[in-house]
Structures are given as structure tokens and as C-alpha cells.
């Protein structure tokens, strides 16, 4: 699973950091860094984080596969 966080929307509430600390981390006071490719054992936690984000900034899904139609 791939994720992207809309950081124009993210307000650094850090709910995602509590729910999936192996994927999301705060860099400084409120800069969010995250693993763009989510390891399989973190998928469920990331889903919870995406649901909990107060500004719905986390988008999870699959990437376009090469040769897709």
C-alpha cells in the first residue's frame, strides 16, 4: 500500500503518529514525515490513522501499476 499526506491540509495534530508510529513521525514541532510505502504489517494501523486524521489529509491506496490499462 502507498500513502500520500496532503501536507497543505495537515495541521500537525499527530493523531496518525500515535496510531501508526512506525509509519508517521513528527520532525521538529509539527513537520510530518512518513513512510511512503507502507509495510504489510502496518496497513491496518495506517487505515485507522487515515480514518482518525481530523482534516482527512491521509490518502492510502495502490499505485498505478506499470503497463496498466
Partner 1 sequence: MPGDLQDGRIVIVGASLAGLRAAETLREEGFTGSLTVVGDEPHPPYDRPPLSKQVLLGKASADTTALPMRRDTDADWRLGVAATGLDPLEKRVMLADGESLPFDRLLIATGTRARPWPNPEEASLDGVFTLRTSDEAGGLAERLAAGPGRVLVIGAGFTGSEIASACRERGIEVTVAERGPAPLVGALGGTLSKLAAVMHRNHGVDLRCGVTVTTLRGDGNGRFTGADLSDGSRVDADVCVVALGAVRNVEWLAESGLAAGPRGVACDAGCRAFNMYGIVTDDVFVAGDVSRFPHPLFGYQMLSLEHWGNAVAQAEVAAHNMVSPGPLRRPHLAVPTFWSTQFGLNIKSVGVPTYSDHVVIAQGSLEARRLAVVYGFQGRVTAAVTVDMAKSLDYYKHLIETAAPFPPPLGSADRAIAADITIPSDVPDPSGLSHGPTVALTGHLPDRRLTVVQPTG
Q: Taking CA 59 as the corner, what is the angle to CA 1 and CA 62, rounded to the nearest 5 degrees?
A: 30
Shortest Å distance, C-beta 53 to partner 1: 14
At residue 48, the 3 state secondary structure works out as: helix
Q: Taking CA 5 as the corner, what is the angle to CA 11 and CA 16, rounded to the nearest 5 degrees?
A: 65
Shortest Å distance, C-beta 19 to ligand SF4: 8
Q: Which residues bind partner 1 (CB under 8 A)?
A: 1-4, 6-12, 27-37, 59-69
Residue 32 lies near ligand SF4 (rule: CB under 6 A): yes
Residues near ligand SF4, by CB under 6 A: 5, 10-16, 32, 53-55, 57-58
Amino acid at each position: 500500500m502507498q500513502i500520500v499526506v496532503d501536507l497543505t491540509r495537515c495541521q500537525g495534530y499527530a493523531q496518525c503518529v500515535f496510531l501508526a508510529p512506525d509509519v508517521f513521525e513528527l520532525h521538529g514541532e509539527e513537520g510530518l514525515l512518513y513512510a511512503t510505502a507502507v509495510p504489510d504489517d502496518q496497513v491496518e494501523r495506517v487505515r485507522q490513522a487515515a480514518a482518525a486524521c481530523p482534516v482527512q489529509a491521509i490518502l492510502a491506496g495502490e499505485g498505478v501499476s506499470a503497463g496498466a490499462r
